[in-house]
Structure 1
C-alpha cells in the first residue's frame, strides 16, 4: 500500500468532501426509494438515479457509481470527479484500476459512514459482492454488520486511553476518536494497518497503529477502554483469510482475549469484545464462557445474540469469502467434518463486556450471561453503561436500604397472554417490558403488577409493600421477603430505579 501516500490521501479527501460524498450527500442524490432499495442490496435503481443526475451532481454521481455501485466509468468522467487527486495518482495508489476495455473501476472500497453526529470516510477492500471471485488472504473488511453492532454497543464516556485490538480498516477507532484522548490500534495484517492509516488521514485523525498478535504490541500497557472485533470464526485452526481466521482451533482466540484482557485494563476499565463460542451437544453455552471468566476477577455481561447450526455457520463464511462453488463445497465439507468430529452442535455469537474492579473495590465478580435475540433489543452504549451501574447499585444497597428507598417504574408496557376457554379469554401470564432495553422484560403476577404500578417515587418501598399486604390480607414481612427478589430483578433490568 505504498502508493497511498499522505499527499494522495489528502488530495482524495479534498475531492470527496468537495463533491459532497457524505452520508447525507449520497442519500440526497439517491432519494428515499432508491436509497432504501440500495440499503437492501438492490443496486439497479440507485444506478438509474445516478445516471440521471443533474450537472451540479455529476461528480458525486460518478463517485457513487465507482465506489458504492461497482460500476465502470470512462476516464474523462473520473478526471472531472477527482480533480485534486488526479487519475494517474489514484491508479498508482490502487484506489482505481483499469479494466480490459480501458474504463476505470474501483480498486478499493471508499464509503461514507456516520455515527449520527459526525460524517466519516472509510477505506477498505472491495467485498465479494463488488468483485467476482474469492477475496485475497489479506482482505480488509469494510463497514459490516458485526462492526456496526460493536460500534453501537461501545460505551462512549470520555476516557484517556483506548485500544482497538484487530483494528482492520479502523472503523472502531473512528468512533473512539470523539471520546478517547489516545487511541492505539493493532492488527496482524499489514495491509489492514495501511488502510487504517489511510482511513485516519482521510478523516483528519491520528492513531498509534502497531503490528502484532493479541496483546503483544501493548505488552505492559493498560487502557481505560478496549474494543475488539477480532477474527473470531470457529474452525480447525487454518489461516485462509486473515479477517476471519485466527490460526487457533475452535474458539481459542476469544478465550485467550477474555482471559488476558484484564491484564491490560486500568481499574474500572471496560473491554467490549465481539465473540463466537462453541456449543457442544448437551452443553449449556453459559458454562463454556463462564469458564473463560472464572479466574479473571472481572465483572461481566455476556449476551448471546444468535445461535447458528454448523451448516448455516459454514455457509455464511464460505459465502462471505466469495469462494467458487466447487471450492466452497470442498472447504465447507471439510469444515463440517471437523465440527462433527468435535461434537459441535452449533456456534453462539454475541458480545462479551467485562469491567475491571475499581481501585479499592472488594465486591466479588458479578457476572450475568443471558440470551437476548430480539431485533429491537440490540445492545447500545448507554444500555451497557447503565447495566453495570445497576449491578453496582444492587450490590451496594442492602434490603433494608431498598425498603427505605423511593422507587419509580420506568416507562414500560404490560403484556398479557391469554387463551380462549369456555368462559372467554383466560389470562395465563403477564410481563412488563421496557421498550428498547435489551433483556428488559419481567414476568409479573397480580401482586407484583400492583407493586410496579405503585412505584412512582412518592413513598418508600417498604410502606408500599405494607399497603399491598393490607389489601391482599397477607403478612407484610412475608410479602417483603417474596417481593424483594422481584424488585432486585426489576432494578437489574432497568424496569425500576431509585427516584431522586
Structure 2
C-alpha cells in the first residue's frame, strides 16, 4: 500500500480502483439512485431535503440493499453497519478504507462506520455517446451531515458556485487548460472532454489528494500541482484558464482554505485578474468567479472595471448579486457549520472589519476574459444582470464575443446592405392610466435565456424589429419606415444604427443566411 506520511485521503491508487469497481457494480449512479429512491425523493435530495431519501432507502428491496447502503453512507451521512458496508464494498476491507480516510468507526466496538468523504455521481459532460456513464466526484462531507465546524483544510463538493462556473465556461476544444484552485476537481472533470492537457492547482494538499481520486475514478489524467495562484505554472501559457478561487472578502485571516485566501479584502480577485494576461495564449479565454468590494452602490462597477481595463484583454464581467455586509457574512458563516456561539462571534468581528473599511456591499459575479489575436484595443463590458434565467453560459459567452467581432468588422453602410432577422423575442410594454385611457410609457424586447438581452424600444424600433425577417436589406426597411413617418431616410438611419448595433450585440438581431 502507498505510504501516506501526510495522512491524506486515498493515497493508494489500487484502493481507488477497487472503490470505483464496487460503486459501479452497485449501480451507484444518477439513474440507479433515482430508481432506488423514486422520482419525488430523488428530486427532493437534489434540492437539499434528505429525509425522503432516508425513508426510501429503508424500504429498498433486497436486490438493492447495497445501493441503499451506499446512498445512506456517502450521500446522507448516516452510520451504517460495518457488515452492510463490507457487503456493499467487497473489494476492500473496512480497516483499509478507514486507514485510507474513506470511513471512520462510529463506535468503540467497531460494528458501525460513517463516511468521512462524500462520493457522488455526477452527469457526464456533453458527449456524442448519450449512454456515457455518470462521473464520480470525491470531496469532504457536507457540514450539514457532519457535527461541528468543518476542518481548516475542508474540501468542498459540488455546489451552486462550482456549477455556475462550469455552466459559464466556453467549451471549444483546446490543447492546454488550467484549473486554478481545483478543489475536488469538478472543473477539471468538465474540462476533460474538450481539453487535450489539464493542469490543476491548489494550495491545499488535501484538495489535490481528492482531485487525484476524482480523476482516477473517472479514468482521467491531470497534472496536479501544489501552490498559490500562478506560482505552480510560472512561465507557462494556456488556451483556457478556469478558476473558482477562495475569493471571499475579509480581513485576511485564513480560517478555512476553501473560502479564505489570506489576502485582505478583494486583493485575491484583483491579483488573479491582473496575472491572467501573462498566462493566456493569443485567442485564449479565462473564466472565473470573483468578488469585489463596493464602497458606493451607485458606482459599483468602477473597481472591477479598473482591474479589467488594466489587463489589456477583452473582458465581460457580470455582477449577479450585490450583497450587503450582513447578508454576505451570514452566507459564509453558515457555510462552515460552526456552533451558534462561535458563528455569532466570528460574524461580529467580520462585520466590525467591514464597517471599519467603509464597505457598503460586495459584488459577486462571473468574469470572462479573452486575449485578442491582434493589436486592436480591447473591449471591456461590465454590467449587472440579476434576473433568473439570464445566467451566463459558455454558449452565450462564445456567441457574445462572436457578435462583437462581427460588429467590429462591419461599417454602418455594410449593415444597411445586410438582410437581418429578429430572434424569437418578447415585446413587453408598460402603460399608465390617463385621461384618455392607458398610455404606453415604455417598451422593451427581451430574448429569453440571453444574459442582458433586453433592449428598450420606441415605435420605430418596434416596427423595424418586426420587419427584420431576412427578406430585404436593413436599409430598405429604414427607407420604408422613413416614408411612413414622413422623415428623412438618412437621418432615421443615423438615429437607428446605435440601437441596431446594440440589438445585434445582444443576439436580438442576426444576419440572415
Task: Identify the TM-score tier after normalising by the shorter chain.
Answer: over 0.9
Per-residue deviation, 1:115: 4.3
Count of residues paired in the alignment: 498
Q: Assess if the C-alpha contact under 8 Å between 1:409 and 1:495 holds in 2.
A: yes
Which one of the candidate residues 109, 118, 124 is aligned to 2:118? 109
Deviation at 1:2, TM superposition (A): 5.7
The match for 1:464 is 477
TM-score normalised to structure 1 length: 0.98
CA offsets 1:349-394 (integer angstroms, 9 cap, x no match):
0011100011xx1321111100011111111110010011111111
In 1, Cα distance between equivalents of 2:274 and 2:138: 32
Aligned residue among 54, 59, 63 for 1:56: 63
> Which residue number in structure 1 is paired with residue 372 of structure 2?
357
Contact in 2 for aligned 1:225/1:269 (Cα 8 Å): yes
C-alpha distance in 1 between matches for 2:237 and 2:305: 24
Contact kept in structure 1, 2:125 and 2:193, CA below 8 Å:
no
Q: Deviations over 1:86-133 (max 9, x none)?
A: 322212211111112631111111111114645211001112101111
Q: Does 1:397 align with 2:410?
A: yes
2:86 aligns with one of 60, 79, 84: 79
> Cα distance, 1:26 vs. partner?
1.2
Q: Which residue of 1 aligns with 2:320?
A: 305
| Correspondence for 1:367 | 380
For residue 173 of structure 1, give the secondary structure of its aligned residue in structure 2: helix
Q: Choose from 136, 140, 155 the match for 2:170.
A: 155
**Deviation of the 1:199 alpha carbon:** 0.4
Question: What secondary structure does 2:310 align onto?
Answer: coil
CA contact (8 A) 1:3 1:93 kept: yes
What is the alpha-carbon distance in structure 2 between the residues aligned to residue 497 and residue 282 of structure 1?
35
C-alpha separation between the residues in 2 aligned to 1:281 and 1:441?
Answer: 26
1:419 CA drift (Å): 2.5
Match status 1:65 vs 2:72 = yes
The residue correspondences of 1:395-474 to structure 2 (distance < 5 A) are 395-474=408-487
**Separation in structure 2 between the aligned mates of residue 279 and residue 428 of structure 1, nearest angstrom:** 33
SS of the counterpart of 1:213? coil
| Cα pair 1:281 1:343 within 8 Å, conserved | no
Which stretches in structure 1 are left out of the alignment for 5+ residues?
A: none
Map of 1:220 onto structure 2: 235
Classify the secondary structure of the residue corresponding to 1:368. Answer: strand
CA deviation string 1:279-299 (max 9, x = no partner): 003551211001112221100
Aligned to 2:97: 90
- Offset of residue 327 of structure 1: 1.3
The aligned residue for residue 197 of structure 1 is: 212
Contact 1:15 1:85 in 2 (8 A): no
1:120-199, aligned counterparts within 5 Å? 120-199=135-214
Q: Distance in 2 between matches of 1:439 and 1:161?
A: 31
**Which deviates more, 375-384 or 274-283?**
274-283
Which residue of structure 1 aligns with residue 32 of structure 2?
Answer: 25
SS in 2 for 1:122: strand
Whether 2:495 is the aligned partner of 1:482: answer: yes
1:7 equivalent in structure 2: 14
- Residue 16 of structure 2 aligns to a residue whose secondary structure is helix
Contact 2:192 2:198 in 1 (8 A): yes
Judge conservation of contact 1:12–1:84 (CA < 8 Å) in 2: yes
1:325 counterpart = 2:325: no
1: CA distance between counterparts of 2:48 and 2:207?
Answer: 25
C-alpha distance in structure 1 between counterparts of 2:124 and 2:21, whole Å: 21
Counterpart position of 2:129:
none
User: 1:39: which partner in 2?
Assistant: 46
Deviation at 1:80, TM superposition (A): 1.1
Pairing 1:239–2:246 present: no
Residues 7, 282 of structure 1: CA spacing in aligned structure 2 closer, same or farther, 3 A cutoff? closer
1:60-87 deviation line (CA, Å, top 9, x unaligned): 1111011111111111111111112332
